[in-house]
Chain A
Amino acid sequence: MQANLLLTVRTALHRYLVHRTQVSQLLIIHSPADLEQVEEQGPPLVSDELGRLLDPSDVLHYQDCHAIVVPLRRRRVALLVERVEDIRMNKETPEEILPLPRLLAATLAHPWYLGVVVRDESPLLVLDMRQIARHLLVMHKKNA
């Protein structure tokens, strides 16, 4: 997977990276009604807060947030974040996605990370948005 197309996304508490190839749309959401409009324009849409899915204490302030739309086979999943901060397209020196430390990878509750990118000496998690979107769909079906 090319690491030169990474979106930096900010939730209320954390910052993550998302691979652009796993995303079909980026939207600005002013109110829940905006999502309803998006739903009318394509395959069924399920939405939830990205931050809270990963960390229950990471609650979004639902005003002018961004939605990252992840396409699955029959549905789309919109994951809401406070902001998509930037899109890096550095073709000359792509950032390397390192695997998670083995000890950590073996203990995780969900396989939701593609790896880690070290940026300004700090590791940033690269999310596997497809895995997260699939999980959300399963949860949505269970609760339906």
Chain B
Amino acid sequence: MQPEDQTTTYLLFRLGDEYYALASGMVAEIARWRAPTVVPGAPPAVSGIINQRGVVMPVIQVGLLLGMTVTPPDRATRYIVAHYEDIHLALLVNTVIDLIDLPEDAREPPPATLNAQQARLLQGVLRWQGRPVSLLSLAEMIATVRPNS
């Protein structure tokens, strides 16, 4: 196999009108939205905790981390249950679209127009059906929520 043929499987999802993706290896499952238990004193990006198959995990408002206006949940709202090392978390997203294979060699750096926080959370940008898809870094999301990490 030639290097230019290498693809990675991503979970494609939407936040607002924008498309994002997360490497599928970090995704455990997709869960329907239900109201999280609010934890007073938690950072604004943590909307609470949920119990998913016996594991209690924080809910991260990804849109808020990216500086977006958070919209109320609707029928399409989902949790992406993900893990990084031994940390489990539920990512709140507007819609989960599909698992897709994207070619790694087409990856571009994040646009220069992003602010520092947004750029930090992105590993790069790929194209899917002509649309830009931003690749999210789970490690950077965790570091942003937990500033001392």
On A, residues with C-beta under 8 Å from B are 13-14, 54-55, 58, 98, 100-104, 106-110, 112-113, 116, 118, 121-125
* Interface assignment of B107: CB less than 8 Å from any CB of chain A: no
Q: Are A125 and B56 in contact (CB under 8 A)?
A: no
A104–B39 Cα distance when bound, in Å, is 9
Residues on A with beta carbons closer than 8 Å to the beta carbon of B145 = 103, 107
A102–B58 Cα distance when bound, in Å, is 9
A112–B102 Cα distance when bound, in Å, is 45
Q: Are A106 and B37 in contact (CB under 8 A)?
A: no
A25–B38 Cα distance when bound, in Å, is 27
Residue of A54, A108, A110, A122 touching B51 (CB-CB under 8 A): A122
Measured as residues with beta carbon below 8 angstroms from the partner, the interface class of chain B is 20 to 34
**How many A-B residue pairs lie within 8 Å, measured between CB atoms?**
68
Q: Are A55 and B51 in contact (CB under 8 A)?
A: no
Residues on B with beta carbons closer than 8 Å to the beta carbon of A110 = 41
Residues on B with beta carbons closer than 8 Å to the beta carbon of A103 = 58, 87, 89, 142, 145-146
Residues on B with beta carbons closer than 8 Å to the beta carbon of A109 = 41-42
- Write the chain A residue with the least CB distance to B45: A107
On B, residues with C-beta under 8 Å from A are 37-43, 46, 49-51, 54, 56-58, 86-89, 142, 145-149
A106–B88 Cα distance when bound, in Å, is 14
Residue of B50, B54, B89, B146 touching A106 (CB-CB under 8 A): B146
Q: Are B37 and A107 in contact (CB under 8 A)?
A: no
A13–B148 Cα distance when bound, in Å, is 31
Q: Are A98 and B56 in contact (CB under 8 A)?
A: yes
Chain A nearest Cβ from B129, distance in angstroms? 34
Residues on B with beta carbons closer than 8 Å to the beta carbon of A125 = 37, 39
A108–B58 Cα distance when bound, in Å, is 12
Residues on B with beta carbons closer than 8 Å to the beta carbon of A104 = 39, 42, 46, 49, 58
